[in-house]
Structure 1
């Protein structure tokens, strides 16, 4: 006979965002069950560890438990793009490189301590709807199938979300990115205080990178968009660059791998309405990421805080309509504005990639768009595209930096 459980909130996915929702609803008195197919927290680890410093600082003020997470502060970002290099010391491009395993375990631990029931080795296999509400979930657990009857369901199950499929939200031609990342030791960092990003002809629409963590330990990887070059995998591209791209090869020649990670993310823009009756989407399931780099930890955790408040209120007042306030509140934050701006930057870069112009010119303009030397609206892009000389283009970029008072150095290579 199938076992049965009832709860106020069923969270599907025990990643950082799902754990944050479980924690913030359970501590406010909700009866919470969270499920995940994986065997333990942060295994396998998905997603990156570099986060924007000012946004993360704000998040920590709202979620003080994150102060426990070890992090390495970088002073800015270096972006090498063909024949030029930009170094931004703008606050927005200062970063922390987190120990993400610690972050995920801390949030899961707080969720458990607050009363949430975390069920690992548990897979959602079916949901049933009654009067427009998903009020029954069939879950395969380590002890067999069970029936869970929730009042509200939170879909925090990422890019391949069960509920994205269930609700018909997956677009046939969605814009997605895939990545491979290696945590390594014995890296010979040339810029130990900076995030290093590389735009190359090898990865149209994507980038490779080297990020410092602690000592000679760090991250190296590739993020790519298959729609621009689907013939090679991120691993193929990484192996090629690690051996043949000088700026990377000199840093990685002595490096040894500690972990290999991979993942996918949808960068086609955040969902404006991530609530469907009693189902609430948060994090990657709702495309809450900075589209031009694919970073989703900070926007996902901000969404978790906003959604949790409305979930608690909806249960307490027995009114599912309150859930619709979550996306409205989220869209009124500065972070939503940033999500939309980064999506627009990504779209501007996509338009640029279709242009038949010299590679060195194209890569330089891409770097200007990425670091917002060219405004996120792309208003200076038409003028940049008229320039045929590489030297004149660099002067154009330097003049924009000076006129805007930006802390960005642009140098030829």
Structure 2
């Protein structure tokens, strides 16, 4: 029997962030991951924004940055496009090398004092008098870890969360099927601009993307709502690659597939001795599906609360309820509102996207005010324009 204060399941950026902050706070921490290589396979577009790294206290590192991004191009279904670049955007972001980034975050956790166990599968957990006991399988060895606090960062529909009695199920209509290729010979508009392709032609209920990584290399993928498409995500992506002018000569060198939960925050992301974070908690932007920064913010909050709980000797739900409060405060209380916007976006049809892009192109993007944005929404059918106008005001 191995004993620890905090056991983190999942050594992705979220789990590693939780482990790092719990260890920095003085807790004894063990991180387990079932994969033999942290960061592989990757299942996302690899994009993050610099402001998010600042919130997390992480300095950008050229070792895990493939490309700095200063804006993007949005393509409407009719082919019209809207370009928003550094002339209008004060912020910038990055396209990552996830395999390098994830290992970097895990090493940060180890430097803070966490112990990492790779190729280790948790086959069972059970309640104990003082927390949980996890049965671990690693190579040909089986052993148990006793922990006061369990942090589940094991991805969508967390198996660990389910074992602990939490409802981590994502409704099918809110589980996006995502498939990214890494490709070479991609003819990007500009290496500094990411590209989004809207409409039912390629991605029903979602969008296709091209995220440049420099020198003709790009993360090319799409996400679709499983209940809206008759084709698989892979079939939709292959069609996109064949027909998009920028990928006509592209060749895949890597392919991955995964689910992206856009249901929003789960109703309950903690209980006695346990916290969920990242995809496991629904800490994903349900509008565009990005979850790296939000998940890491959740990991940071969970790690800090875990460390505090260990110091106080209180691992009850009454103590751990500080975790969602800390997460919401650090993300400006915006995340709970996002599902309302998601549902409105899912109502949009191709003709609506066309009208929005057309209207946005008439704006001076270097000097846009609230009234200008509302005018864009008014181009939609009345039932949608009123909803979007109310929604926009709700975020002000």
TM-score category of the 2 structures, normalised to the smaller one: 0.7 to 0.9
Using a 3 Å threshold, how does the CA distance of structure 1 residues 211 and 65 change in structure 2: closer, same or farther? closer
Q: Secondary structure at the match of 1:232?
A: coil
1:243 to partner: Cα distance: 1.4
After the TM superposition, which residues 129-148 of structure 1 pair with which residues of structure 2 at under 5 Å, given as runs?
A: 129-130=127-128, 134-148=131-145
1:55 to partner: Cα distance: 2.7
Using a 3 Å threshold, how does the CA distance of structure 1 residues 110 and 170 change in structure 2: closer, same or farther? same
For residues 113-136 of structure 1, the C-alpha deviation after alignment (integer angstroms, 9 at most, x for no partner) is 3332211221111111246x6421
Give the counterpart of 1:86 among 74, 82, 85.
82
Give the whole-Å Cα distance in 2 for the aligned partners of 1:341 and 1:32.
33
- Verify: 1:282 aligned to 2:273, yes or no: no
Q: When the two structures are superposed, what TM-score results if normalisation uses the length of structure 2?
A: 0.84
Partner of 1:189 in structure 2? 188
- Verify: 1:161 aligned to 2:158, yes or no: yes
Using a 3 Å threshold, how does the CA distance of structure 1 residues 20 and 76 change in structure 2: closer, same or farther? same
Q: Is the 8 A contact 1:176 1:226 kept in 2?
A: yes
Using a 3 Å threshold, how does the CA distance of structure 1 residues 119 and 174 change in structure 2: closer, same or farther? farther
Using a 3 Å threshold, how does the CA distance of structure 1 residues 57 and 112 change in structure 2: closer, same or farther? closer
Give the whole-Å Cα distance in 1 for the aligned partners of 2:370 and 2:257.
31
Q: Is the 8 A contact 2:356 2:379 kept in 1?
A: no
For residues 174-232 of structure 1, the C-alpha deviation after alignment (integer angstroms, 9 at most, x for no partner) is 61101111112221122332111001322221111111112221111111111211x21
- Verify: 1:11 aligned to 2:8, yes or no: yes
Give the whole-Å Cα distance in 2 for the aligned partners of 1:233 and 1:44.
20
Give the whole-Å Cα distance in 2 for the aligned partners of 1:75 and 1:64.
18
Give the counterpart of 1:329 among 320, 326, 331.
326
Partner of 1:127 in structure 2? 125
Give the whole-Å Cα distance in 1 for the aligned partners of 2:306 and 2:259.
28
Extract unaligned runs of 5+ from structure 1. 354-358, 388-392, 394-399, 405-413
1:308 to partner: Cα distance: 1.2
For residues 145-169 of structure 1, the C-alpha deviation after alignment (integer angstroms, 9 at most, x for no partner) is 2111100000000114113323233
CA RMSD of aligned residues (A): 3.1
Give the whole-Å Cα distance in 1 for the aligned partners of 2:213 and 2:24.
32
Partner of 1:300 in structure 2? 295
Q: Is the 8 A contact 2:173 2:226 kept in 1?
A: no
Q: Is the 8 A contact 1:374 1:380 kept in 2?
A: no
Q: Is the 8 A contact 1:77 1:93 kept in 2?
A: no
Partner of 1:317 in structure 2? 312
Partner of 1:352 in structure 2? 348
Using a 3 Å threshold, how does the CA distance of structure 1 residues 136 and 204 change in structure 2: closer, same or farther? same
1:56 to partner: Cα distance: 3.3
1:307 to partner: Cα distance: 1.4
Using a 3 Å threshold, how does the CA distance of structure 1 residues 341 and 172 change in structure 2: closer, same or farther? closer
Give the whole-Å Cα distance in 2 for the aligned partners of 1:227 and 1:74.
32
Using a 3 Å threshold, how does the CA distance of structure 1 residues 379 and 141 change in structure 2: closer, same or farther? farther
Matched residue pairs, number? 371
After the TM superposition, which residues 362-373 of structure 1 pair with which residues of structure 2 at under 5 Å, given as runs?
A: 362-365=353-356
Partner of 2:236 in structure 1? 237
1:310 to partner: Cα distance: 0.9
After the TM superposition, which residues 212-291 of structure 1 pair with which residues of structure 2 at under 5 Å, given as runs?
A: 212-229=212-229, 231-244=230-243, 248=244, 250-271=245-266, 273-291=268-286
Q: Is the 8 A contact 1:205 1:225 kept in 2?
A: yes
Q: When the two structures are superposed, what TM-score results if normalisation uses the length of structure 1?
A: 0.81
Partner of 1:117 in structure 2? 115
For residues 292-344 of structure 1, the C-alpha deviation after alignment (integer angstroms, 9 at most, x for no partner) is 1111100111111111111101001101233211111111234541x344432
- Verify: 1:47 aligned to 2:38, yes or no: no
1:351 to partner: Cα distance: 2.9
Extract unaligned runs of 5+ from structure 2. none
Q: Secondary structure at the match of 2:266?
A: coil
Using a 3 Å threshold, how does the CA distance of structure 1 residues 374 and 158 change in structure 2: closer, same or farther? farther
Greater alpha carbon shift after TM alignment, 295-304 vs 80-89:
80-89
Using a 3 Å threshold, how does the CA distance of structure 1 residues 242 and 48 change in structure 2: closer, same or farther? closer
Q: Secondary structure at the match of 2:285?
A: coil
